[in-house]
Structure 1
């Protein structure tokens, strides 16, 4: 499961994941179905340092009109 991998990655960081059942998650559900797009991301400095230490680069491709 993709969500399990994300939870495994994030469990080592000081994060707060909140789930709001029902209509409150309509936007989040729609965004999660957008393949290959990142709607919003909040990256803590600790995560950035870990990515740099591991020599991992993040590229975000923007399409015209968005």
Structure 2
């Protein structure tokens, strides 16, 4: 093949560099929004201060154990 490769330093191609970085930032924001929505659905509180987020609480229990505990609270035979 008869080819001619010309090198362009990153500084010379400012527009392409800016666009590629912008797409990465937008993709990161989209993923973060999806993660935040998933956390809200799970009932996990998230506090955001500037660019940093902090968990308010994170407690996960298997569903069966939670249901057993709730049923025991209402079972009169256990409490008599």
The TM-score normalised by the length of structure 2 is: 0.20
Q: CA deviation at 1:27?
A: 29
Name the larger-Rg structure.
2
The 4+ residue runs of structure 1 with deviation greater than 4 A are 13-43, 60-66
Secondary structure, counterpart of 2:7 in structure 1: coil
Aligned to 1:48: 36
Count of aligned residue pairs for this structure pair: 54
Sort the Cα spacing of 1:65 and 1:55 in 2 relative to 1 into closer, same or farther, 3 A.
Answer: closer
Q: Which structure would you say has the larger RCO, counting Cα contacts within 8 Å and 6 or more residues apart? A: 1
Sort the Cα spacing of 1:36 and 1:42 in 2 relative to 1 into closer, same or farther, 3 A.
Answer: closer
Q: CA RMSD in A?
A: 12.7
Per-residue deviation, residues 7-53 of structure 1 (Å, max 9, x unmatched): xxxxxx99999999999999999999999999999971100110000
Structure number with the higher strand fraction is 2
Q: Give unmatched runs, 5+ long, in structure 1.
A: 1-12
Q: Give unmatched runs, 5+ long, in structure 2.
A: 55-80
The TM-score normalised by the length of structure 1 is: 0.24
